[in-house]
Structure 1
Amino acid sequence: MEIINNSPSVIIVLHEIYGINHHIQKVCEKFSLKGYDIICPNLINLRKPFNYNFQEEAYKYFMRNVGFDSAVHQVKQIVKKAKQQYDHIYLLGYSIGATIAWLCSVEENVCDGIIAYYGSRIRDYLDIMPKCPALLIFAEKEKSFNVQQLVISLKKLNSDVYMLNGKHGFSDPFCENYNEKSFEEAETLVDNFLEKNC
């Protein structure tokens, strides 16, 4: 999915395990209306996204058929091509997309900033020191790990790290964990981050 406004800045939106669903489409449209060009690669390469009820199947599909290494390679290729056209390149990822953005940040001059929403697998890559500005936004409650401990570790890595009220998916209006107040707080953090780093 691409939306072209002939902007000097592009946001590469990286979806969750589900693929390019209504939430990701809305994110793309919102940033397009703010004047950015948008590139949203279909990392799972399926015509239809997974339904939220099939979370486990979606995760298994991603890990078996795509995996982080392949996804990072795909995104770096997109960034390389985008560099020929854009002055500013940002990666905006949700969940696995957030972890992919984090993994891309390890190299010099890959992009001008990453924004990562609830990238729970970032905890597996704490040896990374991002080479660009990084905004990391986490939900306060996660089933599989201690968010507070992760936030403390990440703050040592010179990143802007925030923990907002709610559960994984709080910024997705189509998700049962949607939290409007935290969604709005996150929006403000993202807008300020982009303004500061543009």
Structure 2
Amino acid sequence: MKIINNSNSVIIVLHEIYGINQHMQTVCKKFSIAGYDIICPNLIKLNQPFNYESQEEAYQHFMNNIGFDLAFHQVKQLVIQSKKKYRYVFLLGYSIGATIAWLCSNEDNLCDGIIGYYGSRIRVYMNITPKCPVLLIFPTKEKSFEVKEVVNSLKKMNINVYILNGKHGFSDPFSNNYSAPSFEKSEKLIDNFLRKIK
């Protein structure tokens, strides 16, 4: 998915395990209206996204058929191509997309900034030292790990990291975990973050 406004800045949106669903389309449109060019690669290589009830199937599909290494290399190539055209290249990732963005932050002169929502797998890659500005946003509760422990470790790296009230998916209006107050706070954090870089 691409939306071109002939901007000097592009946001590459990295979706969750579900693929380019209604939520990702809404995110892309919102940042397009703000004037950015948008690229949202289909990392799961399927014509239709998974629905939320198929979470386990979607997760297995990603882990068995794509995985973080392949997704990282695909996104890295996309960023390299985008750098030839744009002055600023930002990555905005959700869940697995946030972890892929985090992996890209480890590369010199690759991204101008990365934003990650609830990248739970970032905890596996804590050896990374970001080479660009990073904004990470976590929910108060995650099933698979203790959020405060990971956030405290990330804060020691001098990273912009926040915990907002809610569960995984709080920024997705199509999710049962949606929290409007936390979503609005996250939007302000992102706007401020992007404004400081440009």
Q: Indicate the TM-score class for this superposition, using the shorter chain for normalisation.
A: over 0.9
Shift of 1:74: 0.4
Shift of 1:12: 0.2
Task: Tell me which residue corresponds to 1:135.
Answer: 135
Shift of 1:182: 0.1
| TM-score using structure 2 length | 0.99
1:30-109 alignment, distance < 5 Å:
30-109=30-109
Q: How many residues of Structure 1 are paired with residues of Structure 2 in the alignment?
A: 198
Task: Tell me which residue corresponds to 1:11.
Answer: 11
Name the CA distance, whole Å, in 2 between partners of 1:21 and 1:54.
13
Task: Tell me which residue corresponds to 1:178.
Answer: 178
The residue type equivalent to 1:160 in the other structure is: N
Shift of 1:146: 0.3
| TM-score using structure 1 length | 0.99
Task: Tell me which residue corresponds to 1:111.
Answer: 111
Percent identity (aligned): 69
Name the CA distance, whole Å, in 2 between partners of 1:59 and 1:103.
19
Name the CA distance, whole Å, in 2 between partners of 1:77 and 1:148.
33
Name the CA distance, whole Å, in 2 between partners of 1:2 and 1:141.
33
The answer to whether the aligner puts 1:144 opposite 2:147 as a matched pair is no
Shift of 1:190: 0.3
Name the CA distance, whole Å, in 1 between partners of 2:56 and 2:14.
19
RMSD of equivalent CA atoms: 0.4
Name the CA distance, whole Å, in 2 between partners of 1:69 and 1:161.
24
Shift of 1:157: 1.3
The residue type equivalent to 2:124 in the other structure is: D
In structure 1, the gaps of 5 or more residues are: none
In structure 2, the gaps of 5 or more residues are: none
Q: Over residues 76-107 of structure 1, what are the superposed CA-to-partner deviations in whole Å (9 max), with x where a residue is unaligned?
A: 11011111100000000000000000001001
Task: Tell me which residue corresponds to 2:187.
Answer: 187
